[in-house]
Amino acid sequence: MAQVPGTRTEADNAPARRRRSRRLEVAGLLIGILAGLGIAFGWLIPARAHQPRLAAPSARPPVLAGGSPAQPDPAALDTQWASYSDQSTCADWAGGDGVSAIRLNSTQLAWFFSDTYMGPAGPAIGFSHLSGFVHNSVVVQTATGRGSTFVTMTGGGACTGPGRPGDAAPVVGAPPKGSHVPPDRYWEEDGIKAGQTVVKFYNHYRAGGVPFVPVGTVIATFPVSQLSSAGHGPKYGAVARPGLIPLPSYTPPAGGSPILWGASLLRAGNTVYIYGTQSPDVPNPGRLFYLARVPLPQLTAFSAWQFYAGAGRWAAGQRNARPVQPPGSGLSVSSGFSVVQAEGRYWLIQAATEPGSPDIVAYPAGAPWGPFDSAGRLLYRDPGIGLDAAHDYYIMYEARAEPALSGRHMLVISYNVNSEAVTTGCVPMSAFTNTVTLPRFIAVPLAAFGDDPGAHVTASSAAPGYPQVVQRDPSQWFDAWDYPGGCPPVPGLASVRARPGAGRVTLSWPDAGLGVRYRVYLQGPDEAGESPAAIAFADSATITGLRPGDYLATVVPVNFRKDTGPSAEVTFTVG
């Protein structure tokens, strides 16, 4: 039987995972488990610089969320998540999207995420996938005298101690134990604290690839005491067990997706306005938005909801819901946005829906039910975003207001980033750096929402510093959105060379491109050629243990998705 020294099998690489923005697959790089972490804001790795050593103590006080006299500091918020990811253990959040924060008490915040990478991770190695990838998670931040500590909560299965890899389950939508069927996705939306309960909305999507197929909405209820206790507890093995309330699914007569509720919640006195989205054509990004209202104490009682029925009217029953915007208004929404009240008006805030846009825009209205002015007002333009090689094919999505982080005169807005860059071998950027899916923050003066539509808005943010990965070799990187399957065609091999020896052969071939691997098949004595004799991750392979005789070697280039390109063959004789 042929043997291959020092090679790995394809099973060593984690299975592909797709994210909401399009897709994000983990390369399965194994790295050592890092030490436990308690982030102190005075001991932070500089934002986005990701230095391997901790910085010197800073005079800056801890960044505290709303209710603190401290001025919101977007750079410090960016930094805390970069640092947490860089030093993550197998029990920690290491990256994710769908970020939103809810204050639990004067010293604690609950951070909710959708797709989440568990650690370890690093700026030069990407995500290890050592403890799994989940479609939602919760991170509890607790302020201490020196700064803050973080505890990541999953639905169970994450590692229980250093050096103990696990397979974490999501907080909402955990598959049955032992199930080998890909789980459906439950992606978090907005939430609110109601008394001693955090009420959080999750939208349910079928398992499978793009386009993601919506199913409906689930409300999750988290006791504040459960989240708070976890934040004070051990960092390993923290589990969240929310109550789950599925909402009735309803698709408008014109077809498309069901209405998905909870994209944004707006509290006005004792009333909560719940915004929902609906896709008339699921494969296309344009969404209509709908509105319901209910007294805060009855938020989880769907039968108590009233629905906006158009022309300022409200009605019971989801079937009476009508889109907020009039036909032809030109304003569509993303899957996640916010509606806030500022300077006497209501503002819908979102990342621009055009693919690759770097803008965060606000649209005003005189009432929560609109109509919202489709002209909008530019709040921020991220210079690091763009669907081209110069910007590493970065995109932004789901910008949300963060009241729990905001100050008296400043509104903090979070947003998500990802890269659509894939290599020749369709390896995503997440295999090269963990900076791909770290949350970003800006702070906008409330005065920017005043009456002057032409007023210049100066939002504060961290200095742009996305690592330039594509620029190291632009010819080897591509925009996944340019290809129907998300991958460039796998290059073919023109030739293979063989150098046989006693009981062995060394095969070599031209490098097909970054991230391409190679299956090597042999036909000859005791070798039927039905399964690979080797999986090579470079441009050569040495196979030993061969019996004397004539052989045919076939080398097949394979990408990360296991698509194949044209192969090359060579014959040789082992003496």
Q: Which of 194, 221, 248 is the last residue of a domain?
A: 248
Domain count, the chain: 2
Q: Is residue 166 part of a domain?
A: yes
Whether 517 shows a pLDDT value over 80: the answer reads yes
Among residues 210, 228, 248, the one where a domain terminates is: 248
CA angle 332, 333, 338 (to 5 degrees): 140
What does the pLDDT average to over 235-258? 96
Distance CA 298, CA 219 (A): 12
Can you give the pLDDT at residue 354? 92
Nearest to 120, CA basis, from 228, 190, 33: 33
Establish if 224 belongs to a structural domain.
Answer: yes
Residue 542: inside a domain, yes or no?
Answer: yes
pLDDT of residue 29: 24
What number is the average pLDDT over the span 372-384?
95
| Tens-place pLDDT, residues 322-345 | 999 988 888 999 999 999 999 999
479-488 pLDDT tens trace = 999 998 999 9
Q: Which residue has the tokens 């669907």?
A: 387
Write out the residue range of the structural domain in which residue 562 sits: 497-574
pLDDT number for residue 297: 98
Assign residue 557 the CATH number of its domain: 2.60.40.10
Domain boundary (222, 248, 274) is at: 248
On whether residue 457 sits in a domain, the answer given is: no
Span 197-224, average pLDDT = 95
- Domain annotation covers residue 464: no
82 within a domain of the structure (yes/no): yes
Residue pair 446/388 in contact by the 8 Å Cβ criterion: no
Q: Mean pLDDT throughout 199-228?
A: 95
DSSP 139: E
> Could you read off the pLDDT of 85-141 as tens digits, one per residue?
999 999 999 999 999 999 999 999 999 999 999 999 988 888 988 888 999 999 999
In a domain, 533, yes or no: yes
- With cut-offs at 50, 70 and 90, classify the pLDDT of residue 52: very low
Give me the percent of the chain exceeding a pLDDT of 70. 87
Predicted pLDDT at 65: 33
Q: Residue 459 and residue 449: Cα distance in Å, rounded?
A: 12
CB–CB of 102/442 below 8 Å? Answer: no
Least confident of 1-15, 149-163, 321-335, 474-488: 1-15
**Residue 221: inside a domain, yes or no?**
yes
From CA 96, how far away is CA 86, in angstroms rounded?
13
> For the residues 440-454, what does the mean pLDDT come to?
90
Dihedral sign from CA coordinates of 25, 287, 479, 213: positive
